[in-house]
Structure 1
Amino acid sequence: MRNATRVWICAIVALLCCMPLGASAARKEINVLMESVPDTDFVLECLPEFEKATGIKVNIESVTYAAMHEKLIPQLTARRGSYDVIVVDKQWVGEFVGAGWLEPLDRYIANTKGFDTSVYVPALFNQIGQVHGSTYMLPFYNYSMGLVYRTDLFKDAQLKSEYKKRFGKDLAVPTTVEDYIQTAKFMTRNYKGEQIYGVIPQLARGVGIHAEWACLMFAHGGDYYDSRWKPTVNKGGALRAAEVLLELYKTSAPAGATAYNFDEVFSAMSQGKGTMMATYGWMLAKLNDPEQSKVAGKVAMTVMPGGHAVGGGWGWAIPKSAPDADAAWQFLSWVESFEVAKKRALLGGAPTRFDVFRDKEVLAKYPTMSEMEKIVATGNRCRSCSAQTRSLMCWPESSRKP
């Protein structure tokens, strides 16, 4: 009997020794909180490759922008949170870094062979990457604003002839604010039996109208504050921007534009009702998708009139409350590698790296990427990390309807 017992014990020990190491513990899991946007979907498509190579299970939770900040704060202030990786909007950088909620990434970068942050477009890296000499984020995707326009309308022979006769110059995509106003008025008409408008603006109270106004403010040399941090949103370029936005609404936009947010402007533009629209770079792929847009193949994008616009994006970060910062970095160094960043761009993502913007395969699929690089590179930002949160104080005033 005792011999039989020994045999059973030996068999059990042998079985345990044959089990994969850490069958219950070695298979790590990390939790990631992201916004519900196309670029998140592109990460999800690439994810099986990482999980297979590392054995790390990645649980991505995506939520709406409206819910994200509120969901993050309790996690960031906890001694040990639930999320190993988060994405940070540029508007939150000052708040999150200033409060000490984000883990500096410099030591991880230094210890990762071949990891180079100089590949990021400086206009983005200075917003959602480095703060006061330390790196807290890696730029994930950009939402720098540019001017979307209908290529078919600007090539229309009848419209070109009429414009030349009226103004004595060729019809072209506007590069100045004055030409923007003039072209928008001209393009507001009945075109082949359909009413079209010169511009499709976001004018509902909120982030959208603020962005429309800020693009025009930067074009007129304005800013939120002067060198002493005294608000300047009620004079100079900022005031002129408000006047231009009001003029565009009255002369060149649908009457219902005062209720337009992101979804409404996309709907109007994709239905062929607009000539131009100030919007985010990643919108272009959606507008050129035949399944989502009637004007697919007839839409391009360029730098905003005046040469500057709202620059922005999201950055990957590791919270100080992360349960497993090392595994989190393993994921970040993979997802921001050239190969994966390129794959995301080919799926329709909004790049942040020079080498992805200039990649031959990416340019072959999306020729407008060269123009997108210019848009990202010329995007304006607040002068410091703290300015990002201070600028929020301007929103109630800058987001009132015309």
Structure 2
Amino acid sequence: MNEAPRLSKSALTRRTLLKGAAATSLAAGGLARPAIARDMSITALTMGQGIFGQPLVELTPAFTKATGIKVNLITMGYNESIEKQVAAFAAHSSAYDVVQIDSIYLKGYVQAGHLKQLDNLVPQAQLADFFSDIPPALRQMYSADGKTYGMATVANCQRLIANTVHLKAAGLGVPQTWDDLLAASQKTVNPGAKQFGFVAGTERLIKAFSVWLPIFWANGGELFDAKMKPIFGDQTGVDALTFLLELMKTMPTGGAAYTEADETRAMATGLGTLDPVAWIPDAIVTASPDMRPNLVSAVSPKGKVCQAPVMGGMGLTVSNYSRDAQAAAEYLAWFNSRDVQSKDLVPHGGQPCRNSAWAANASAKPWFPAVAASLKVAKIRPQLPEWGQIDSAAGVQLSRAFVGEITPQQAMQNAQKAADGIMRDAGYY
């Protein structure tokens, strides 16, 4: 999946990160870049496949050709990559110059002193151009205390996929609000025709919480208070879960345990009508030629307050222990330049982060306009090392509510209590 592929099951916590904190603060440095020796070599730890990895694998040779900087690209899966980077940071190892990280870990890594500040490595004019050309949420994801520590490079978030033939038969258009989506899901259910309404990957421990989250956020919900105490078990949280349970009544049989593969297959075959939390376009890609024209993409629905699809993403950073930080920063800057983002990223399997690049590639894929629009309103999950644990713990409780084992009130109370324990154990309060 491409929300930030899949959260690691390792017990990565704030204390784990701080245990390996750098002994010294980051060097201030000047804004002018020194000359880089063209025979320089750097090492980058990244994903190797999918939208987050394929562009890096395929375009890195072009970077070397353009700059003369050789890159030893080490690629691996998400969980293994997390383990490698945590171990290297804890040891203050110079093994990696560039590290591709999940954005949820950035602020923890910064607090521990593991990342170089980019404001002193990338020219100000280049950073200013970059920031003026990306959704504000992406800048927030890769900054801390007003300073820049990473660049988004590849962007992704949830979006709505709808079967327009099912909707038209019911006299409906693509829903713009969550209330409209519920009504449309209910009106398009026809078990005799093997046609259902809502579709989502609700599987516990993996996606349950991120299916509930855009509904909660869209109606004004907040996950934590100012002291980082979980507060999502309030009435807004209960109402969001109650609403989700109503949507799930319109799902195909077994919907409470749907995987992302089930979610994709249901939309691709016409079994489902509306998937408002799709991370990937595979339903459209894998649909038969006669089904594909029926499927359209749109921005996640609006609640009482806003639209709030969940943002995902992996960004490039420079290790604070890099021996060649300037060359490493040039690697980041190159991949995020206007030319590379607009001309090269999409043909090599990526999705850009720059607004101008989305505009330049709007016709490249039928779902691109919806993703570009969704990124502008998407919200960021808390950038905590413990978020994976909280996501999983809450997902267990939501899944219990999905099958009627506990009430929405009990599920949200249990989820908040579990999150509170995780935050206490991590030393936040």
1:53-68 maps to which residues of 2 (within 5 A)? 53-68=66-81
Matches within 5 A, 1:113-152: 116=129, 117-127=131-141, 129-152=142-165
Q: Secondary structure, in 3 states, of the residue corresponding to 1:365?
A: coil
2:253 to 255, 262, 265: 255
Aligned residues of 1:210 and 1:398 also touching (Cα < 8 A): yes
- Cα displacement (A) at 1:313: 1.9
Aligned to 2:316: 316
Identity among equivalent pairs (%): 24
After superposition, the Cα gap between the structure-2 partners of 1:379 and 1:111, relative to the gap in structure 1 and judged at 3 Å, is: closer
Alpha-carbon offset, residue 356 of structure 1: 1.0
Residue 392 of structure 1 and its aligned partner are, at CA, apart by: 4.6
How much has 1:390 moved relative to structure 2?
5.7
Q: Which runs of 5+ in 1 are unaligned?
A: 1-24, 161-170
Whole-angstrom distance in 1 between the partners of 2:54 and 2:291: 24
Q: Tell me how far apart the structure 1 counterparts of residues 333 and 145 of structure 2 sit (CA, whole Å).
A: 22
Pair 110,38 (structure 1): closer, same or farther in 2 beyond 3 Å: closer
Distance 1:186 1:65, change over 3 A: farther
Q: CA deviation at 1:224?
A: 0.7
Show CA shifts across 1:55-90 (max 9, x none): 333333333333332222111122223222112212
- Give the aligned partner of residue 187 of structure 2: 186
Q: Is the 8 A contact 1:271 1:294 kept in 2?
A: no
Query: Aligned partners of 1:43 and 1:100: how far apart in 2?
Result: 25
**Aligned with residue 159 of structure 1, among 163, 166, 170:** 170
- Equivalences for residues 1-400 of structure 1 within 5 A: 26=39, 28-34=41-47, 36-110=49-123, 116=129, 117-127=131-141, 129-155=142-168, 158-160=169-171, 171-190=172-191, 193=193, 195-249=194-248, 251-280=249-278, 283-284=280-281, 286-289=282-285, 295-306=291-302, 307-342=307-342, 343-359=344-360, 362-366=361-365, 368-381=367-380, 388-389=384-385, 391-392=387-388, 394-400=390-396
Shift of residue 312 of structure 1? 2.8
Give the secondary-structure state (helix, strand or coil) at the position aligned to 1:278: strand
**Structure 1 contact 35–68 (Cα < 8 Å) conserved:** no
Structure 1 range deviating more: 132-141 or 61-70: 61-70
Partner Cα separation in structure 2 for residue 68 and residue 363 of structure 1? 32
Q: 8 Å contact 1:115–1:333 — kept in the other structure? A: no
2:177 maps to amino acid? T
- For 1:232 and 1:313, the matched residues in 2 are separated by 25
Q: Which amino acid aligns with 2:363?
A: A
Retained in 1: the 8 A contact 2:45–2:81?
A: no
Q: Is the 8 A contact 2:39 2:70 kept in 1?
A: no
Listed one character per residue, the Cα deviations across residues 115-160 of structure 1 (whole Å, up to 9, x for unaligned) are 7232221111111x222110000012222212121233334xx332
SS in 2 for 1:137: coil
- 1:334–1:396 Cα change, 3 Å: closer
The number of aligned residues is: 355
Structure 1 residue 217: Cα displacement: 0.6
CA distance in 2, matches of 1:111, 1:223: 34
Residues 229 and 78 of structure 1: CA distance in aligned 2, closer, same or farther (over 3 Å): closer
Larger Rg: 1
* Alpha-carbon distance, 1:101 to partner: 0.9
Which amino acid in the other structure matches residue 125 of structure 1? R
Q: What is the one-letter code of the residue matched to 1:327?
A: A
The residue type equivalent to 2:296 in the other structure is: A
Letter in 2 for 1:205: R
Q: Secondary structure at the match of 2:45?
A: strand
- Aligned partner letter, 1:213: W
Q: What SS does the aligned partner of 1:255 have?
A: coil
Please say which of residues 57-66 and 230-239 is displaced more in the overlay.
Answer: 57-66
* Shift in alpha-carbon separation, 1:230–1:54, aligned structure 2, 3 A: closer
The alpha carbon displacement at 1:105 in A equals 0.5
Query: Helix, strand or coil: the match of 2:292?
Result: coil
> 2:7 maps to which residue?
none
Unaligned runs of at least 5 residues, structure 2:
1-37, 403-429
SS at match of 1:88: strand
C-alpha distance 75-112 of structure 1, shift in aligned 2 (>3 A): farther
**1:178 Cα deviation (Å)?**
1.7
| Structure 1 residue 311: Cα displacement | 2.1
Q: Does structure 2 conserve the Cα–Cα contact (< 8 Å) formed by 1:137 and 1:317? A: yes
Once the two structures are superposed, residues 153-204 of structure 1 have per-residue CA deviations (whole angstroms, 9 ceiling, x without a partner) of 334xx332xxxxxxxxxx122222222212112222247x5x1321221221
Does the CA contact (< 8 Å) of 1:79 and 1:321 recur in 2? Answer: yes
* 8 A contact 1:335–1:341 mirrored in 2: yes
Alpha-carbon separation, structure 2, partners of 1:291 and 1:357: 24
